[in-house]
Amino acid sequence: MVIEYMGIKEINGPLIVLDGVKNPSFEETVVIRLENGEERTGRIVKIEGERAVIQVFEGTHGVSLSNTRTRLTGHPVEMPLSSELLGRIFDGAGRPADGLGEIFPEKRRDINGTPINPVSRVYPRNFISTGISSIDCLMTLIRGQKLPIFSGSGMRHNELAAQIVRQAKIADKEAEFAIVFAAMGVKNDVADYFRRSFEESGVLSRVAMFLNFSNDPIIERILTPRCALTAAEYLAFDRGMHILVIMTDMTSYAEALREFSSSKGEIPGRKGYPGYLYSDLASLYERAGMIKGSGGSVTQIPILTMPNDDITHPVPDLTGYITEGQIVLDRTLDNSGIYPPVSVLPSLSRLMKDGIGEGFTRADHADVANQLFACCARVQEARSLASVIGEEELSPNDKKLLEFGRMFDSRFINQGYDESRSIDQTLDLGWELLSALPREELDRIDDKTLEGHYKPADEAPADE
């Protein structure tokens, strides 16, 4: 027999309080039926004896203290799973939203997941070729990695993510590849842009989309990435596929969490975000990886917009501490028309050191990358000097550095939206640019490697 509880005790934003509940369990799902027959879902977020605080995913508009009947379901929020997930579109709470009917589940899993045992993990070292020079050479993406894109409103992060999806796919023909796309609080246009670009590149049937739009209930947004990652884990570790998860926009997710936390009356931490923001973000990002004995992998590319382009804002800051590197986009580059506007110096891939070089990419990869980074740092110094004393007054070496910087931005970083460069092309381009610098500037590379690749400007083929 199912007990239904009539009415509720209190409503506070997205939270309702139910009294006299028999046997509630923590994080259990509840179904709330309104007088007009509408059903809403919620989950128990706090229990004090017979008093349960319930978070309502669809929001509490239209709910009064007396017009509801609430029923406990006895299990936490679960996601139905089967390989049918691919090619489907779901709403933010994991319910089908494309009118194609329910999923016939092979399994149901708690969307919170459980942590991967660190000893069961395989240390990721398989290079994913994205065809984008700046990423492949300087912040190499590795299968099983979580590599976020730090962007700002109005920059072309969506294009970059779509390009990665399109080009990374080509690099892997032998294994099954699929995409899980989670949109949290994004504009309808953005979701539509991704849908179209998946369609154009012919991967739509290999995509599971979870969409929570910016006008959708905010609490649902907290479930969206969890549903998506539960699906991704299932496809990767039960079905052995390589899954690329794109999550956008993590900042809206964190804002939803903040709203929820403040309506619960919790003590806020930095900028009003709850004290557990780090643990909460980690419970999402850490679901990337590879597991021993399973052929699949979950690779994450979360996208977040830095409010006011501030990288020290809590969301990018905490994200950077959890993820294995970051791709930082820069507004100055974006404004000068360079695409993708990747700012090289603050960008990083922590896993690249073990996934590049002989046997993975090319023996000289690490040297080129280190040298390019070092040169970019010096270009920056030269630029700031030039802005004080003027370019004319610079030493010849500094002038060469400035020239190198310009070439680097316009030829190495900048590339077409449809242009895919192989790793060989990228590294050769790197050498070509380095060769424009005097040999003593290249202090990160040993003589032997230099012998083979360094061709000073006069010997190198002329540009264009």
Partner 1 sequence: MNNVIYGINGPVITVLGNTGLSMMEMVLVGNDRLVGEVIGISDKETTIQVYENTTGLAPGEQVTGTGGPLSATLGPGILDNIFDGIERPLKAIEAVSGDFISRRVNVSVLDEQREWDVTVCVKTGDQLSEGMVYATCPETQIITHKCMVPPGLSGTVEAVRPDGKYRLNDTVVTLRDEKGVLHDLTLCQKWPIRKPRPTARRLYADAPLVTGQRVIDTLFPVAKGGTAAIPGGFGTGKTMTQHQLAKWCDADIIIYIGCGERGNEMSQVLEEFSGLIDPKSGRPMTDRTALIANTSNMPVAAREASIYTGITLAEYYRDMGYHVAIMADSTSRWAEALREISGRLEEMPAEEGFPAYLPSRLSEFYERAGLFETLSGAAGSVTVIGAVSPQGSDFSEPVTQNTKRFTRCFWALDKSLAYARHYPAINWMSSYSEYLDDLSDWYKKNVGEDFLDCRTRITRILQEESKLMEIVRLIGADVLPDDQKLVIETARVIRVGFLQQNAYHKDDTYVPLKKQLGMMRAILHLHRSARAVLAAGIPISRILELGLFDKLIRMKYEVPNDNYEMLDGYIADIDNALTSLG
The reply to whether 451 sits near partner 1 by the rule CB under 8 A is no
Pairing of strands 4-6, 325-329: unpaired
DSSP string of 387-404, one letter each residue: HHH-GGGS-HHHHHHHHH
Using CB under 8 A, which residues numbered 80 to 99 contact partner 1? none
* Contact map string, positions 324 to 343, toward partner 1, x by CB under 8 A: xxx-----------------
Piece of 19-27, 90-98, 177-185, 199-207 that binds partner 1 (CB under 8 A): 19-27
12 or 64: whose CB is closer to partner 1? 12
Smallest separation (angstroms) from partner 1 to the CB of 239: 15
Maximum alpha-carbon separation in the chain? 87
Residue type, 443: D
The only residue of 34, 338, 363, 385 in contact with partner 1, by rule CB under 8 A = 385
198 or 237: whose CB is closer to partner 1? 237
Smallest separation (angstroms) from partner 1 to the CB of 436: 19
186 or 376: whose CB is closer to partner 1? 376
360 or 373: whose CB is closer to partner 1? 373
267 or 462: whose CB is closer to partner 1? 267
* Contact map string, positions 134 to 173, toward partner 1, x by CB under 8 A: ----------xx----------------------------
Piece of 40-48, 96-104, 209-217, 415-423 that binds partner 1 (CB under 8 A): 40-48
171 or 322: whose CB is closer to partner 1? 322
The reply to whether 124 sits near partner 1 by the rule CB under 8 A is yes
Using CB under 8 A, which residues numbered 358 to 377 contact partner 1? 366, 370, 373-374, 377
The reply to whether 267 sits near partner 1 by the rule CB under 8 A is yes
Cα dist. 96→39, 79, 209, 241 in Å?
A: 16, 11, 10, 22
Q: For residues 242 and 233, what is the distance between their CA atoms, to the nearest angstrom?
A: 10
The reply to whether 2 sits near partner 1 by the rule CB under 8 A is no
The only residue of 80, 274, 296, 341 in contact with partner 1, by rule CB under 8 A = 274
Partners of 210 in the β-ladder: 90, 182
The only residue of 1, 23, 37, 418 in contact with partner 1, by rule CB under 8 A = 23
Q: For residues 300 and 144, what is the distance between their CA atoms, to the nearest angstrom?
A: 7
Using CB under 8 A, which residues numbered 216 to 235 contact partner 1? none
CB 183 within 8 A of CB 248: yes
Q: How many residues does the chain have?
A: 464
Q: Is the peptide bond before 340 cis (omega within 30 degrees of 0)?
A: yes
The reply to whether 114 sits near partner 1 by the rule CB under 8 A is yes
The only residue of 20, 154, 240, 275 in contact with partner 1, by rule CB under 8 A = 275
CB 273 within 8 A of CB 203: no
Q: For residues 428 and 448, what is the distance between their CA atoms, to the nearest angstrom?
A: 17
Residue 105's CB is within 10 A of a number of other CB atoms, namely: 14
Q: For residues 169 and 75, what is the distance between their CA atoms, to the nearest angstrom?
A: 37
321 or 417: whose CB is closer to partner 1? 321
Smallest separation (angstroms) from partner 1 to the CB of 257: 13
Q: For residues 402 and 405, what is the distance between their CA atoms, to the nearest angstrom?
A: 5
The only residue of 34, 204, 394, 402 in contact with partner 1, by rule CB under 8 A = 394
The only residue of 1, 292, 308, 462 in contact with partner 1, by rule CB under 8 A = 292
The reply to whether 353 sits near partner 1 by the rule CB under 8 A is yes
DSSP string of 162-229, one letter each residue: HHHHHHHHHH--SS-EEEEEEEEEE-HHHHHHHHHHHHHTT-GGGEEEEEEETTS-TTHHHHHHHHHH
HSE, side-chain direction, 13 A CA sphere, residue 440: 2
Smallest separation (angstroms) from partner 1 to the CB of 25: 4
Q: Which 3 state secondary structure label does DSSP give 462?
A: coil
**By CB under 8 A, how many residues form the interface with partner 1?**
85
CB 26 within 8 A of CB 68: no
120 or 205: whose CB is closer to partner 1? 120
Smallest separation (angstroms) from partner 1 to the CB of 20: 12
85: its two tokens: 């997930």
Q: For residues 362 and 353, what is the distance between their CA atoms, to the nearest angstrom?
A: 12
The reply to whether 314 sits near partner 1 by the rule CB under 8 A is yes
The reply to whether 279 sits near partner 1 by the rule CB under 8 A is yes
Residue 204's CB is within 10 A of a number of other CB atoms, namely: 17
The reply to whether 276 sits near partner 1 by the rule CB under 8 A is yes
